[in-house]
């Protein structure tokens, strides 16, 4: 199925994850493609949230692919109760299938992440095929990195509200809290566990192998976080992104008020008011491409 939006052809796709799970994705075809771009979205955020950014990137020459992870948006089963999955399946199976579909040898492939997308890149099979990775709002998730009021709210959610909802529903009915899509039980359980640690899953004794996996990444990376991102302030970003220890890495701290962007928070990176940040990311990819040609 295809549709037209302005000059951008939008193609609705059904992909098969690496373990066979059916996924829904959208490919935004650039009229004059210069590169390919994969979007790694945030936890509980359906792909439609990234539509404006994807269309904008396609207009700039990036054929852009977004997807709904299993259990989210158009990739969720009829009933979340009893749906069995692990949080990291989104990276190792779902994003992996999207990268397999998108990548080609004729054009470079880049990736933009949001929150969990920055976690996913280090877990992504074939990440070496990605020529540059730019992520927004990625952090370690630990409440101790958050401002005091947000810290209290998050602890209330993890320790009281969330468990009560899960006990009743069998999954985290996050939509009841106005915080995004409902989350499968496996996502809730692992997310809650890892948010107990200052360095997220790197501090989990059961995930000791992940540090070496992230250290193998050599792709150039930029991680951009705003000062008003209560869930992933720069200190939280720094705690997590340190795991990409051998990648060429830049931290970008955004003072959204001083830069005339207004409030950004954790979700505003992909709202149309943040277009200057989109230009910055896409411009960075273009510079990488120029440097690669000159080498």
d(CA 267, CA 273): 11
pTM score of the predicted model = 0.95
Whether residue 54 contacts residue 12, with contact meaning beta carbons closer than 8 Å, is answered with: no
* 269 vs 5, higher pLDDT: 269
Length of the chain: 295
Residues contacting 186, CB < 8 A, separation 6+:
84, 85, 86, 87
Q: What is the mean pLDDT of residues 74-89?
A: 96
Per-residue pLDDT tens over the stretch 174-229: 887 777 799 999 999 999 999 999 999 999 999 999 999 999 999 999 999 999 99
Residues contacting 293, CB < 8 A, separation 6+:
none
- Domain ranges in the chain are 10-294
Whether residue 169 contacts residue 154, with contact meaning beta carbons closer than 8 Å, is answered with: no
End-to-end CA distance of the chain: 40
10-294: CATH, from 3.20.20.140, 3.20.20.70, 3.40.50.1820, 3.40.50.300: 3.40.50.1820
pLDDT, residue 23, reads: 98
d(CA 112, CA 207): 25
d(CA 206, CA 190): 11
- 3-class state of residue 99 by DSSP: helix
* Torsion angle in degrees (nearest 10) through CA of 73, 126, 270, 68: 0
E strands in 124-198 = 130-136
- What percent of the chain stands above pLDDT 70? 98
């Amino acid at each position: 199925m295809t549709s037209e939006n302005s000059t951008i052809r939008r193609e609705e796709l059904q992909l098969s994850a690496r373990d066979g799970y059916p996924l829904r994705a959208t490919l935004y075809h650039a009229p004059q493609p210069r590169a390919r771009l994969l979007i790694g979205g945030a936890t509980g955020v359906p792909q439609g949230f990234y539509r404006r950014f994807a269309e904008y990137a396609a207009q700039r020459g990036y054929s852009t692919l977004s997807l709904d992870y299993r259990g989210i948006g158009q990739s969720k089963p009829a009933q979340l109760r009893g749906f069995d999955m692990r949080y990291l399946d989104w990276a190792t199976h779902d994003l992996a299938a999207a990268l397999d579909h998108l990548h080609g040898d004729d054009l470079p492939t880049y990736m933009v992440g949001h929150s969990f997308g920055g976690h996913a890149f280090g877990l992504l099979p074939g990440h070496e095929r990605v020529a540059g990775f730019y992520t927004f709002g990625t952090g370690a998730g630990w409440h101790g990195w958050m401002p005091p009021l947000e810290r209290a709210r998050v602890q209330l959610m993890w320790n009281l509200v969330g468990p009560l909802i899960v006990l009743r529903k069998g999954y985290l009915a996050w939509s009841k809290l106005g915080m995004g899509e409902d989350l499968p039980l496996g996502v809730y359980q692992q997310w809650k566990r890892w948010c107990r640690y200052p360095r997220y899953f790197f501090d989990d004794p059961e995930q000791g192998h992940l540090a070496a996996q992230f250290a193998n990444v050599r792709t150039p990376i930029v991680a951009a976080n705003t000062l008003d991102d209560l869930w992933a302030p720069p200190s939280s970003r720094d705690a997590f992104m340190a795991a990409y220890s051998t990648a060429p890495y830049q931290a970008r701290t955004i003072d959204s008020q001083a830069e005339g962007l207004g409030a950004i928070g954790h979700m505003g990176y992909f709202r149309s008011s943040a277009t200057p940040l989109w230009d910055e990311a896409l411009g960075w990819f273009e510079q990488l491409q120029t440097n690669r040609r000159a080498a």
